[in-house]
Structure 1
Amino acid sequence: MISENASLVISSGRSIIWLANSSRVASNPVLHLLDSGNLVLVHDTSSTTEEYLWQSFDYPTDTLLPGMKIVDDNEAGVERYLTSWRSPDDPSPGEYVHRIQNRGLAQMVTLRGGMKKYRLGQWNGICYAGAQKFPSAVYKPEFVFREERMISVGEPYQSLLLVRATLDTSGAILCHTMNLRRDKWNLVTMFPLDTCDEYATCGPNCICKPDRPIRCECLKGFAPKFQKDWDLQDWSGGCTRTKPLNCNGGDGFHQVVGVKFPDMSRFWLNTSMSLGECRVECLKNCGCTAFANPFITTGSTGCLMWFDDLIDTKQLPSAYNNQHIYIRVPTSEFDFDMGLEEEKEKKRPTRLIVISIVSGVLVSAIINGSVLFVARRKRQAVKRNSEDVELPTIKMATILQATNNFSVENMIGHGGFGPVYKGYMPTGEVIAVKRMSRSSQLGLEEFGNEVMVIAKLQHRNIVRLLGCCIEEEERMLIYEYLDNKSLDYFVFDNSRRTHLTWPKLFDIIMGTARGLLYLHHDSRLKIIHRDLKTSNILLDGNLTPKISDFGLARIFEEDQSLARTKRVVGTFGYMAPEYAIDGKFSMKSDIFSLGVVVLEIISGKKNRGYEHTDHYLNLLGHAWLLWKENKIIELMDECLKNTFVENEVKRCMQVGLLCVQKFADDRPTMPSVFSMLASDGAVLPEPKQPGFFIERSSSSSGTSSPFVESGNKTITITELEAR
């Protein structure tokens, strides 16, 4: 209700639950919900913005809508920032806060318990140095400055274009736009984009390179502070100088191109000084460790100097190659580098040129001239894509010790590539060793392809490749060990499945979707997985999903949308129709596989071999029948009945059916899939008939066949290899 003094009040009986005091008293106050979403208390219907007695936009929670502002105005004593929810279904204040930080150059930071979790980077005159450039065709925020201090940032309201930014429960910022039909939110971008966006992930005096398998690298003139930790890929200790600075004219500067500048703890800023003057000023002060022009606008001047360790530096994409920093090093360091090139080469991680690995494929495949020609073409293609792949090598003796000589007790799985063993490194780290079977010709190709692809990927929902072992006839890949095996180990087991509640299954679905979104859109490479299935989704100790097995993956060019192969390799039940029948694969074929996985997770049943007493349809066909009869909730496994959230389950089922539609053009893209899964209350399109919507005869139930029936026609394919 509205009280007599024009305050908003929510009460229960005589108890006041919530109270919003207005700034002024009004005789006839009116409460309005505006088209922008702003709830305002006004004098009367003719009131203007300046006459609001109270407005909800002054009190943001986890969402920033057009018309709202994040504010840091110390003169007015006003602070407004985003606060995450405690959980997806609990809107009380969570762990994360997203706010403006004015310290020298303004930047946006996400804090967890007062400590920085993510940092968008300093304002460089055009955008935040570590995020998407502004303005864009979609986002055109307005920034208000008072001298060098950023007072507010917000998106102006436009009735024709609806956007929103949300701080989710993990601390990530998700940006969506509403489509023109006003029935769906589409995910446009998100932050963090990769593990390098986590604050100080590499420790001091390092640069994080998200496209490298060894993502942390010491800056010029520095070396790992704790070498043993560094060898185990624990970079938190960072790097320290190899030689002390010489303030008596013995120092120079090493330019690092295209970076998100380090955070500012001890710094000095002058906005009128030229870059040359900045260099001279830095050399005058023995404590100056680096300098830069903080602005990238044409003809801009400015001098930013750092006086401490360089924290949270990241290599940026080529679009930011005009944003440089100059690291101070002794001039002797330059001579040292050039004079000891051989010694440096010994200290670097072993450079793994995939062409040398896949040469084994060439040797083993020489049966006739045509096979040789195909192998040579594969070799050339691998070489073009893998010249710069780097991966640490691990000695065979170390692997033998870790796996107890590949004992049966240590074997934890077996696939088309070969057996997988659990191992214990001398350091105590637990690993998973994927050993290529000598009889597996498919494994030879997978090995080279997996190294080439996964070594370049870094994401929390992608399994992490730690190294490899290549000695004599042996080819092994060493991965992080994940405690809870693969998703199918839980989903298709009646007893273990009961340990997974719906909230946890929903998190697994979202994590898998987030990983596939990274592969398709957010990684430096555009990756088509081609074998996404429940057994290729691994779970860590917290049941966080990680996509694995990239042996069949393919790298697409930026402008490439479709490819074709005469050799179809994959898993029955997860292959899209256009891939199984015509050998055509694209991002949409991965979308089909994801849809199958989602429906399997919810139902607890496998698509291939699914049996029902009333018909001989597969799981997709059964789900389609239930959808048409408005009984889709019956697809849900009974063990979820005490924990499920009906609207979430139905939304996931509908998204799953949208993903498995027969025609690739009808299936949504991954940004749309992720947005639909995450957007509660969004109106989703109606799914069309799924692919492989066929009825088996009773005798063929549960069997596999390399053809697809459609009416009275049989379409065959010459080379179809199941895994």
Structure 2
Amino acid sequence: MKGTTKKSLERLLFLCSFVLSSIRTSTTLDTVTPSQPISDGQTIVSPGESFELGFFSPGSSRNRYLGIWYKKISTGTVVWVANREAPLFDHLGVLKVTAQGNLVLLNSTKGIVWSSNTSRAAENIPDARLLESGNLVVEDGNDDGPDKYLWQSFDYPCDTLLPGMKLGRNLASGFDWFLSSWKSTDDPAHGDFTFRIDLHGVPQLVLKKGSATQFRAGSWNGIRWTGAQAMVRNPVYTYEFVSNETYVYYKYELLNSSVFSRMVLNASGVSQRFTWIDRSHSWVLYYVVIVDQCDNYAFCGAYASCNINKSPVCSCLQGFEPKSPRDWSFLDWTDGCARRTLLDCDKGDGFLKHAGVKLPDTTYASVNKSIGLEKCGELCSNNCSCTAYANSDVRGGGSGCILWFSALIDIREFSDGGQDLYIRVAASELGNIGAERSSNDKKLLGIIFGSVIFIAMLAIGLILYIRKKKAKTKNSLEKDCNDGDENEVMELPIFDMKTIIKATENFSIDKKLGEGGFGAVYKGNLNEGQEIAVKRLSQDSGQGLKEFKNEVILIAKLQHRNLVKLLGCCVERDERLLIYEYMPNKSLDYFIFDESGRKELDWHNRINIINGIARGLLYLHQDSRLRIIHRDLKASNVLLDSKMNPKISDFGLARMFGGDETEANTKKVVGTYGYMSPEYAIDGLFSVKSDVFSFGVLVLEIVSGRKNRGFNHPDHQHNLLGHAWRLWMEERPLELIDDILGESCALSEVLRCIHVALLCVQQRPDDRPSMSTVVLMFGSDTMLPQPKQPGFFTERNVVEAESSASKNDSSTKNEITISLLEPR
């Protein structure tokens, strides 16, 4: 009897369990209605099971929040949070829909913690459901009209922009759509950063910290934001920008609905786009908004432009000069530039054309879409307060008009893309134009006469100066080079200028070997037949005597077969020269980036070069008397001798560390983009791991025969690091190998080189191996750890160039070395 009773109870419990489970499943997959709320532990799933709504605790927090996350993705990444500022402190939260159509979140005492505050009451029985897009909507029963949604979460973005979401404003209601960062990974409350379209003046996309602008993508020009370079066709998503009397917004849609992609503004203020890769079960960084110095808002100040391909990166616009020349000489460009000649509207100010630029901040600008460029110029010319003008739309040869009425800030020069900008300058800055033409003719004779007298006097003075200077030249050279700390006196031969001029045939163009960030290099022949390489410092390079001495002192103290040998120096008046041993095969970039040169580098030579560079870096980091960080390791700074042995050169940017120092920080970032580590390029933090990152980039370039910066691929927009990472994760690393190598390479060696290189370019410095570990990795067959995602995964990709216009609306779809600082 007891056995029968026990079995009956078990069957009853099983039946109850089955019924409860069925009810729970129904709740999980169904909608929320006034009669059917959901509680903590229950969820709503979108029809295709891409997204899920429920309660969660972020990171290490114990607080509970109502949110939406990816269901199909194992990481369960959260994309939206309801009660950001009002967490629940237990697991007793309940979400329900009121009869009026309001979504309300209740705590354990039935108090309202959060409400959707729906502006319009339901006329039917409302229900809430989660769409496949990730949009949580409240519907007015069976109403299928255009206003069937009483409320939707897409109107209230958090830190994530999903496909179909908008950034912008509803002009009719004043409602804003913008991203707001979390406070931290454990706290989804509103953080310090926002990413939005600023409607002051001409609408533009901006990233702000509080009220301070950090980054500005610029205004929309019909194809892209003006702060974006010309891009290849995007295979993942399309863009749309709408600007009319009712709306101003930007959104994107996926070309393939099976792909997951999201844009997120993280707690540190970094805006990034990620794409989910099924093979690796991870989010892969597709692009990051701020890539280099020039992306920082107003980096060069007013009336200046930033060009990452130049050194220094900042320069005044034509007709302007540094506002603070002293600060400018110390690479502090904050104050920007000022007009060299004040404007005088009555004397006929003119306009200078600047091509291929990011248009300046449009906060104090106005737009007229109905006129062309010529009329735009007339309007600006007739208004003495107008400082510049440009087309607002670049499609079809250009149309529309933007007028600026304040200082021109945040201009960037592009090598590809950008727009034409016409900047107002004084008539005297334009040369022979307008009213100045006749006055210049009258002054011409006077100028010629005065010039003849001046040149004659200058020649007489120069002759006297040379005679006086000859006797002091030798002592002056030694004093300049040796002036300073007695412990840093250079025990190197001092060459006189006459010897160098003779050796290089007066710096003949035929003797020129190449040109770097700080000057040209010439081949020379001394009287005794010795071949030399002479590095002639450019006078406008920004490198002073101390930096010059830094390079000389460092190289003089270093002796290694994989470091270039310094033979001496020459300092005479404004000339600063370094004399090196001559490398007959020039630099590595002449071979690996040249179609014919690559054929001369078989795998034996390439692996020898890789190992030689590794040994040279190891010596700098560990085995020399000093610990030295090179900070500018790249293909053009690796020279090759007659036997193709590599020698690291160019120590002008190197930093010497004391015995206990492991890392340092600087506000003046120097080096070459494409080779610089992320922590150094963005935060100015450098260590031996910065050189390790550069070495990893260089190895991938040697293996592939392709440059990291400027790398193009038809299937994606990653740089060489991203391409290599993608091939590695898809188990196709052999596709990275240079086709020219053919069968000359040992596949096991090549794969190990790729593996080690990916370990060297990992995002976090702590994850990268030291150079001593790298050398051991190359010299053994031990198992290597799996690399993590590299830093600087992609080239600069703020937006892509896809566009089409709506009829009624303005609607559209769509090797650099930088500035030097004084070594510390």
State the TM-score, normalizing by the size of structure 2: 0.51
- In the TM superposition, what is the alpha-carbon distance from 1:609 to its structure 2 partner? 11
1:260-275 paired onto structure 2 within 5 Å: 260-275=358-373
1:326 aligns with 2:493: no
- In the TM superposition, what is the alpha-carbon distance from 1:59 to its structure 2 partner? 1.2
1:477 aligns with 2:597: no
1:309 aligns with 2:407: yes
In the alignment, the residues of structure 2 paired with residue 73 and residue 266 of structure 1 have an alpha-carbon distance, to the nearest angstrom, of 21
Q: Kindly tell me: are residues 197 and 276 of structure 1, through their superposed partners in 2, closer, same or farther at Cα, counting changes over 3 Å?
A: same
In the alignment, the residues of structure 2 paired with residue 301 and residue 359 of structure 1 have an alpha-carbon distance, to the nearest angstrom, of 47
CA contact (8 A) 1:101 1:109 kept: yes
- In the TM superposition, what is the alpha-carbon distance from 1:564 to its structure 2 partner? 11
Report how many residues are paired.
Answer: 510
Q: Kindly tell me: are residues 358 and 222 of structure 1, through their superposed partners in 2, closer, same or farther at Cα, counting changes over 3 Å?
A: closer
- In the TM superposition, what is the alpha-carbon distance from 1:110 to its structure 2 partner? 1.2
In the alignment, the residues of structure 2 paired with residue 19 and residue 484 of structure 1 have an alpha-carbon distance, to the nearest angstrom, of 60
Aligned with residue 385 of structure 2, among 287, 293, 308: 287
Aligned with residue 283 of structure 2, among 153, 165, 185: 185
In the alignment, the residues of structure 2 paired with residue 593 and residue 542 of structure 1 have an alpha-carbon distance, to the nearest angstrom, of 17
1:2 aligns with 2:96: yes
SS of the residue corresponding to residue 757 of structure 2 reads helix
Per the alignment, residue 394 of structure 1 pairs with 544
In the alignment, the residues of structure 2 paired with residue 596 and residue 540 of structure 1 have an alpha-carbon distance, to the nearest angstrom, of 13
Q: Percent identity?
A: 27
Aligned with residue 657 of structure 1, among 781, 786, 811: 786
SS of the residue corresponding to residue 203 of structure 1 reads coil
Deviations 1:30-65 (A, max 9, x none): 432222222233355896874233322221100000
CA contact (8 A) 1:486 1:538 kept: no
Per the alignment, residue 132 of structure 2 pairs with 35
Q: Kindly tell me: are residues 594 and 86 of structure 1, through their superposed partners in 2, closer, same or farther at Cα, counting changes over 3 Å?
A: same
Aligned with residue 443 of structure 1, among 540, 563, 566: 563
Deviations 1:121-162 (A, max 9, x none): 111111111126687332312322215x85222224663343
Q: Kindly tell me: are residues 669 and 388 of structure 1, through their superposed partners in 2, closer, same or farther at Cα, counting changes over 3 Å?
A: farther
In the alignment, the residues of structure 2 paired with residue 184 and residue 144 of structure 1 have an alpha-carbon distance, to the nearest angstrom, of 33
Deviations 1:613-665 (A, max 9, x none): xxxx99974xx7xxxxxxxxxxxxxxxxxxxxxxxxxxxxxxx6145xxxxxx
Q: Kindly tell me: are residues 170 and 544 of structure 1, through their superposed partners in 2, closer, same or farther at Cα, counting changes over 3 Å?
A: farther
- In the TM superposition, what is the alpha-carbon distance from 1:205 to its structure 2 partner? 0.5
SS of the residue corresponding to residue 318 of structure 1 reads coil
In the alignment, the residues of structure 2 paired with residue 253 and residue 152 of structure 1 have an alpha-carbon distance, to the nearest angstrom, of 33
Q: Kindly tell me: are residues 544 and 39 of structure 1, through their superposed partners in 2, closer, same or farther at Cα, counting changes over 3 Å?
A: farther
The one-letter code of the counterpart of 1:391 is: S
- In the TM superposition, what is the alpha-carbon distance from 1:297 to its structure 2 partner? 0.6
SS of the residue corresponding to residue 406 of structure 2 reads coil
In the alignment, the residues of structure 2 paired with residue 262 and residue 672 of structure 1 have an alpha-carbon distance, to the nearest angstrom, of 28
- In the TM superposition, what is the alpha-carbon distance from 1:169 to its structure 2 partner? 2.2
Q: Kindly tell me: are residues 150 and 367 of structure 1, through their superposed partners in 2, closer, same or farther at Cα, counting changes over 3 Å?
A: farther
Aligned with residue 244 of structure 2, among 143, 146, 149: 146
CA contact (8 A) 1:33 1:40 kept: yes
- In the TM superposition, what is the alpha-carbon distance from 1:280 to its structure 2 partner? 2.8
CA RMSD of aligned residues (A): 5.5
CA contact (8 A) 2:319 2:339 kept: yes
Question: Which protein, 1 or 2, shows the higher relative CO under an 8 Å CA cutoff with sep ≥ 6?
Answer: 2
CA contact (8 A) 2:208 2:214 kept: yes
CA contact (8 A) 1:96 1:110 kept: yes
In the alignment, the residues of structure 2 paired with residue 71 and residue 10 of structure 1 have an alpha-carbon distance, to the nearest angstrom, of 28
- In the TM superposition, what is the alpha-carbon distance from 1:282 to its structure 2 partner? 2.4
In the alignment, the residues of structure 1 paired with residue 295 and residue 752 of structure 2 have an alpha-carbon distance, to the nearest angstrom, of 35
For structure 2, the residue ranges without an aligned partner over 5 or more in a row are: 1-94, 433-439, 459-511, 567-577, 590-628, 633-648, 712-719, 721-735, 796-824
Per the alignment, residue 212 of structure 1 pairs with 310
In the alignment, the residues of structure 2 paired with residue 220 and residue 596 of structure 1 have an alpha-carbon distance, to the nearest angstrom, of 39
Q: Kindly tell me: are residues 13 and 445 of structure 1, through their superposed partners in 2, closer, same or farther at Cα, counting changes over 3 Å?
A: farther
Q: Kindly tell me: are residues 620 and 142 of structure 1, through their superposed partners in 2, closer, same or farther at Cα, counting changes over 3 Å?
A: farther
In the alignment, the residues of structure 2 paired with residue 355 and residue 202 of structure 1 have an alpha-carbon distance, to the nearest angstrom, of 19
- In the TM superposition, what is the alpha-carbon distance from 1:171 to its structure 2 partner? 2.3
SS of the residue corresponding to residue 257 of structure 2 reads coil
Q: Kindly tell me: are residues 578 and 13 of structure 1, through their superposed partners in 2, closer, same or farther at Cα, counting changes over 3 Å?
A: farther
Aligned with residue 85 of structure 1, among 182, 187, 200: 182
1:353 aligns with 2:515: yes
Q: Kindly tell me: are residues 177 and 232 of structure 1, through their superposed partners in 2, closer, same or farther at Cα, counting changes over 3 Å?
A: same
Q: Kindly tell me: are residues 236 and 483 of structure 1, through their superposed partners in 2, closer, same or farther at Cα, counting changes over 3 Å?
A: farther
Per the alignment, residue 199 of structure 1 pairs with 297
In the alignment, the residues of structure 2 paired with residue 594 and residue 475 of structure 1 have an alpha-carbon distance, to the nearest angstrom, of 22
The one-letter code of the counterpart of 2:564 is: L
In the alignment, the residues of structure 2 paired with residue 550 and residue 599 of structure 1 have an alpha-carbon distance, to the nearest angstrom, of 11
Q: Kindly tell me: are residues 389 and 11 of structure 1, through their superposed partners in 2, closer, same or farther at Cα, counting changes over 3 Å?
A: farther
In the alignment, the residues of structure 2 paired with residue 562 and residue 387 of structure 1 have an alpha-carbon distance, to the nearest angstrom, of 37
In the alignment, the residues of structure 2 paired with residue 50 and residue 308 of structure 1 have an alpha-carbon distance, to the nearest angstrom, of 43
Q: Name whichever of 550-559 and 213-222 sits farther off.
A: 550-559
Q: Kindly tell me: are residues 300 and 2 of structure 1, through their superposed partners in 2, closer, same or farther at Cα, counting changes over 3 Å?
A: same
1:477-556 paired onto structure 2 within 5 Å: 477-478=652-653, 523=673, 527=675, 547-548=690-691, 554=698, 556=706
Please say which structure displays the higher CA radius of gyration: 2
- In the TM superposition, what is the alpha-carbon distance from 1:115 to its structure 2 partner? 1.9
Q: Kindly tell me: are residues 58 and 595 of structure 1, through their superposed partners in 2, closer, same or farther at Cα, counting changes over 3 Å?
A: closer
The one-letter code of the counterpart of 1:590 is: A
CA contact (8 A) 1:229 1:235 kept: yes
In the alignment, the residues of structure 1 paired with residue 775 and residue 329 of structure 2 have an alpha-carbon distance, to the nearest angstrom, of 46
SS of the residue corresponding to residue 657 of structure 1 reads coil
The one-letter code of the counterpart of 2:179 is: L
CA contact (8 A) 1:484 1:543 kept: no
CA contact (8 A) 2:663 2:687 kept: no
In the alignment, the residues of structure 2 paired with residue 479 and residue 293 of structure 1 have an alpha-carbon distance, to the nearest angstrom, of 45
